[in-house]
Amino acid sequence: MTADLSALNGSAKPESEEQVEKKPQHVEEEEEDHEEEGEEEVHEGAGANAKKKKKKKKPKKKKVGLKQTEPPTIGITKLFPDGVYPEGELQEYKDDNAWRTTSEEKRYDERMAMEDAETTYADVRRGAEVHRQVRQYARKMIRPGMTTTEIADLIENGTRALVEGDGIEAGVGFPTGLSLNNCAAHYTPNAGDTTVLQNGDIMKVDIGVHVKGRIVDSAFTLSWNPDYEKLLEAVQAATNTGIREAGIDVRLGELAGYIQETMESYEVEIGGKTYPVKPIENLSGHSIKRYQIHGGGKSICLVKNDDQTKMEEGEYFAIETFGSTGRGRVVESGEVSHYAKAADAPHVPLRLTSAKSLLKTINKNFGTIPFCRRYLDRAGESKYLLALNHLVAQGVVHDYPPLCDARGAMTAQFEHTILLRPTRKEVVSRGEDY
């Protein structure tokens, strides 16, 4: 999920039944082992000439662990009952920080972090594994002709099932972004939205998962038009550059320069006309804190600047890049769907009884985790727009309108969450898909 502008100062049906494997099993057992495991002697009669009869032991069936269904429905804790979840991609620090990989002191710091309930990596890795499994299924199933509501339900229902939660303890990390074409971020369908994905669309799919407030934020872009391949390639390469160059003590302004250089090295030919790929200058990646998707106050812009702020050991960052064939700048446009309670929400008297009631629902179900109108519907709220707008006006809740480049422009996004561990960098959200 992208940082807002101020930071810069669906269960869907597949096209055909053949696309879905019909065999998923919750528990599979290995084939019987037909090799003899030994023989047991049975003596009949007595004396030296006693007749011996051999009896075979019955082969034993060996049980194996659970396997994920399709669509994904089995909770991740059931697939990893020992509580040990896969690490993300590991990258060693460069230059002046290369020593960290073999430092005994830093290895000790890392072991302590694993045991500390406040900094343990287990929660973020659990969320990351949920993210990987849900998005891999989504990438396979999303097709033109589906509504954005169907796509959002597919992703969010899978997330809730696998993370085994739908609230403060664990759940969706923020509303699923499904921004189309010139809209770069912060669009998710509200109730009644009938938008249908078209063959010529570019869709940014931004998915969030959280476990105990540890938010995993990762995004990718889908297109069915080969004309846009270079746009997607440029933005993905820029994200990879940001991940590679990020690290402890790296200055954010310099990191932005590396991202900009990579993205601007690409151009796109559409309809016989060549367009340079521009980084969207007023969007950024961001640091992440517990229960705060834009926590920590650090932004990774996409254009080189003089920000001397450094990345620090133990921090989480969303390395997130956006590219455009348009002007490379977004403005707020369209109906709001994304909201979040302010982490520093003021204690103000609310004159509307409905606003007080709605705030209780928000505190109970989301806290400071971002939400959307569909989530309020799911929580049983109705006719809440007046109350919601009052909370926004009082500064208790922030709204995040869709962010759009010029009409006719095409935009793309790629993103991963990284953890700056004491010994090395872990790209927690990375998987085989991208």
Residues marked as catalytic: 206, 217, 286, 294, 320, 415
| Token couple for 379 | 């929580």
Whole-number Å distance between alpha carbons of 315 and 301: 17
Residue that is written with structure tokens 């002007």 in the block? 327
Whole-number Å distance between alpha carbons of 54 and 434: 58
Q: Which amino acid is at 378?
A: R
171 with 159: CB under 8 angstroms?
yes
Per-residue burial over 163-184, b = 16 or more CB atoms within 10 Å of its CB, e = otherwise: bbbbebebbbbbbbbbbbbbbb
| Token couple for 199 | 């063959």
Q: Classify the C-alpha dihedral 113-116-120-122 as positive or negative.
A: positive
386 with 357: CB under 8 angstroms?
no
Nearest to 387 by CA among 375, 373, 400: 373
Whole-number Å distance between alpha carbons of 151 and 133: 15
70 with 141: CB under 8 angstroms?
no
Around 420, how many Cα atoms within 13 Å sit in the side-chain half-sphere? 23
Whole-number Å distance between alpha carbons of 266 and 23: 43
Q: Which amino acid is at 211?
A: V
Per-residue burial over 344-358, b = 16 or more CB atoms within 10 Å of its CB, e = otherwise: ebeeeebeeebbeeb
